[in-house]
A and B are shown apart, each in its own frame.
Chain A
């Protein structure tokens, strides 16, 4: 049966074709190598640092526990008649971070969960120039209070590429820097 199709020719295994294949492999591997490392990605400018605001916190409940009256108890199903009513909902948390007096970040965080009763988690990165900065943090975690429930101020000196972590623990005097 005649066959005119040049593609039917057996795999190219003579020296000339092997050299041609080597060129193809070299091009392929050059692509592999280049994109495996390049182009370089600059995450942070040369003279910048990062302030990371990171903490978890259970805010105050929206309302305190109260004692139910007999009349209120009677309205409930028998298996739900507990004398104390403790609403689970927690307050939204408002945080403001100022750098040298200027607002750098402001967040209003609603507690997650079906009943908004879980603790909030904060993780924010703020890129800042290296050098000395005055940090001030303002937080309200109680919807029954106007104004801040926690405040923090500190002057810090940041080195290039340094990460300064601003964390919060209500049992250890509130905010702190690491």
Chain B
């Protein structure tokens, strides 16, 4: 088995369990972002309903929450419980999201922007939860109010003592107006803005959880809300100090630190941890490959690469070189992940274009160009001496495909299987490969987000550049897996080898692939 660090192994095992239980399309670990959005929608809708009955005054807040919880338990009470439990569930999905990106090393290099904008977003969520707890105005709310004020008082730019406001006779209803505004409007708007920044460097951002997962999560939330409805603490009493509190540890875990450290030290611990988390992408940094380059004289500005780019790194602009095409594409180097998916999507990457030697495509990778990819394919096929020749394409970011090298299978490594032009499959079969075995990241878990998906769609014929109908699909196999799936992938390859051997024995017809002329040139 490939050597794998324990954190990654732990994640992969959990991922495998969820793949077994839910299947990849409903796997919660592949849908952590959309699940968080789903919980946010539950929080939003339930919160709006609760606000109808909520009294924003010191005297009325607690009573109104008691009404919600007890007198209208069947609706507002359930809504309150779902509001809280969905908020808690969102923190778990966010933490899991961070853990996933960290354990799979998807937080460094070109992903630094998403990581450092994600860390403060977690704080926006936490502070949104904290103000929510204030509104109940029970003993817990008073504890939070006093402790939060102590923290605020320790800030150098805060003058006066906020904490004194929470002593007998100091508080007014204006406090609740402010809290209500923050919790219901100010903080959610800031949070949405922060999320927008967080996903700014991604394309095809999913915000809707798969229906099955959403339904399951909703039923689970509803069941928990009915089985264990949320209750308040006793009403806030400014002349008393609550002795035992049932803290929501998802949101309020910082406060007990104040028992051991001063407010200033608590700030240093929390801010220090936050900054350390934000610095992780550079501890140590990860080098991203050289960004894609555009060869305008081979680009007709079709924009397929821009459509396929998972990181929104390619723009389509008006033509600047005087060619007859209306558009050209421009790569944003600082956003480019060097995944090579654009190479696979460019119609000019067609390896049959022999009139252009060496092969130059419209958008290319400096460190593994379309020409090198074709040469590598030629080299690999010519190295095979066995009767049944299997060409293996595999990506760099999962199971080490080099382990599949043998007398009857030669390996070509690529950045991502999404960088394989569909025409390269036909080319390889034409050049003597009996079968093509492709392995990449687990389904739903592409290191470059959409390489797996685009490859499938191209092969299915639902996305350009399509694998032509006449390509013999019996001779192409895709088997995906993670670092720990080596045994299964090897077995798949062995089965595929047997199948191809059988095909070779029974298939006396000439290849059904087209001639060079059929596949040459994309009209550029």
Q: Can you list the 9 inter-chain pairs with the closest CB atoms, starting with the nearest?
A: A121-B161, A1-B473, A25-B220, A4-B492, A11-B23, A37-B246, A7-B443, A29-B224, A123-B163
Q: What bracket does the count of chain B residues touching chain A fall in?
A: 35 or more
B159 touches A118 (CB 8 A): yes
Contacts of A9 in B (CB 8 A): 23
CA distance A48 to B240 in the complex (A): 11
Q: Which residue of B lies closest to A159 (CB)?
A: B240
| Nearest-neighbor residue (CB-CB) of A165 within chain B | B167
CB of B239 within 8 A of CB of A40, answer no
Taking CB atoms, residues of chain B closer than 8 Å to A35 are: 88, 248-250
Measured between alpha carbons, how far is A29 from B86 in the docked complex, in Å? 10
Number of interface residues of A (CB under 8 A): 56
Can you name 20 extra interface pairs (CB under 8 A) apart from A6-B488, A17-B23, A121-B160? A2-B476, A2-B496, A3-B479, A5-B492, A7-B23, A17-B22, A20-B21, A36-B230, A36-B249, A43-B259, A44-B242, A44-B243, A52-B167, A54-B164, A122-B161, A123-B150, A123-B164, A160-B243, A161-B241, A165-B167
User: Which B residue sits closest to A121, measured CB to CB?
Assistant: B161
Q: Does B480 contact A (CB under 8 A)?
A: yes
Partner of A41, one of B220, B241, B245: B245
| B209-217, B313-321, B405-413 - interface stretch | B209-217
Complexed CA–CA distance, A46 and B221 (Å): 35
A172 lies within 8 A of chain B by Cβ: no
Report Cα–Cα, A45/B150, bound state, in Å. Answer: 21
Chain B residues near A37: list those with CB within 8 A. 246-248
Whether the Cβ atoms of B163 and A54 lie closer than 8 Å is yes
Q: Which residues of B contact A50 (CB under 8 A)?
A: 241
Q: Which residues of A contact B495 (CB under 8 A)?
A: 4
In the bound assembly, the distance between CA atoms of A81 and B377 in angstroms comes to 89
| Interface presence of B295 (CB below 8 A) | no
B197 adjacent to chain A (CB < 8 Å): no
A42 and B244 contact, Cβ closer than 8 Å, known pairs A5-B492, A54-B161: yes
The distance in angstroms between the C-alpha atoms of A5 and B220, with both chains bound, is: 30
A55 within 8 A of B: yes
B241 touches A28 (CB 8 A): no
Nearest-neighbour CB distance to chain A for B193, whole angstroms, equals 27
A5 touches B499 (CB 8 A): no
With A11-B25, A41-B256, A54-B164 known as contacts, the answer to whether A4 contacts B240 (CB < 8 A) is no
A114 to B23, CA, bound (A): 63
| Residues on B with beta carbons closer than 8 Å to the beta carbon of A11 | 22-23, 25-26, 210, 212
| B3-44 Cβ-contact flags toward A at 8 Å (1 or 0) | 000000000000000111111111010000000000000000
Tell me how far the C-beta of A107 lies from the nearest C-beta in chain B, rounded to whole angstroms: 13
Tell me the bound Cα distance from A91 to B25 in angstroms. Answer: 69
B97 shortest CB reach to chain A, Å: 15
Question: Knowing A11-B22, A52-B167 touch, does A31 contact B240 (C-beta < 8 A)?
Answer: no
CB–CB A3/B477 < 8 A: yes
Whether the Cβ atoms of B243 and A7 lie closer than 8 Å is no
CB under 8 Å from chain A, chain B span 125-148: 143
Chain B residue nearest to A29 in the complex (CB): B224
Proximity string of chain A (3-22) to chain B, C-beta cutoff 8 Å, 1 when within and 0 when not: 11111111111000100111
The contact of B247 among A41, A55, A56, by CB within 8 Å, is A41
Interface residue from B84, B159, B223, B480 paired with A5 (Cβ < 8 Å): B480
